[in-house]
Amino acid sequence: MKKSFDDLVALAKHLRSPEGCPWDREQTLETLRPYIIEEAYEVVQAIESGDRDEIIEELGDLFYEILFASRIADECGEFDIDEVIDKLHIKLVRRHPHVFGDEKAANAEEAVKTWHRQKLKEKSRKRRLLHIPRTMPSLLRAQRVGEKAGQVGFDWSNANEVLSKVKEELSELEEEMKSGNNEGMEKEWGDLVFSLVNLARHLKLDSEGTAHKAVNAFIERFGKIEDLAESRGKELADLNLEELDRLWDEVKNQEGQ
């Protein structure tokens, strides 16, 4: 039997009641923070897997975190899930004047510009970059910072200009490495990464997602190296770097076949 939204609201209320779950009753908005972040990541992982049932399950988990947080706030007399939904509905209509109003958007790029223009009208834009959550993953946060700075024209004109900046930052990092200055290396490494993220942005790449793919590819290939070594009766820890490199190249060649 299908459950309704009201059934889920009632369930959250019951779990928080004296007859409900002791763990649920102890939670606060502050204690829910890590779970909300975790569930959001699990949704992304499910989407990457392409598994329909997993995506449904993880979206449900994330949705419940929102509902549960709203229930806690309701008990404190702050707001309830209805207010969350109402504000969301109003915001979506207001930020789509090209759908619900008289404005026009011929393509996705124009629609995004309209969205940001409406957003600028709604909020104080003093120190606009401070509105980007500090808790975001660093690459994603860097990309959002670049996007918002670009919205007011503070940006490179094209990817080639950013690439030149990347090369400049790499050269500066090399100089700090020669000097052995740890503080300087940290700064220049950060500048290089930030420049690379902006290059990804100009190349229409998702820096966070692209980095995850690169890490996943390394993990997958390293696992194949472990399997290959084991099939030959060897332990990776017993091999020198030259031998490990040969295994790595062998796996790469197999993947290219």
Separation between Cα atoms, residue 257 and residue 254, nearest integer Å: 5
List domains and CATH numbers for the chain: 5-94 (1.10.287.1080), 138-203 (1.10.287.1080), 210-256 (no CATH)
- Bin 77: left if φ > 0, else alpha if -120 < ψ < 50, else beta: left
Nearest-angstrom CA–CA distance, 165 and 139:
17
List C-alpha distances in Å: 48 to 44, 45, 85, 231.
6, 5, 28, 31
For 104-132, give the DSSP string. Answer: --SSHHHHHHHHHHHHHHHS--TTGGGGS
Q: Is the pTM of this model over 0.75?
A: no
Identity of the residue numbered 170 = L
Question: Per-residue pLDDT for the chain (257 aa), expressed as one digit of tens each?
Answer: 688 999 999 999 999 999 999 999 999 999 999 899 999 999 999 998 999 999 999 999 999 999 999 999 999 999 999 999 999 999 999 999 999 999 999 999 889 888 878 877 776 556 778 788 888 899 999 999 999 899 888 999 999 999 999 999 999 999 999 999 999 999 999 999 999 999 999 999 999 989 989 999 999 999 999 999 999 999 999 999 999 999 999 999 988 75
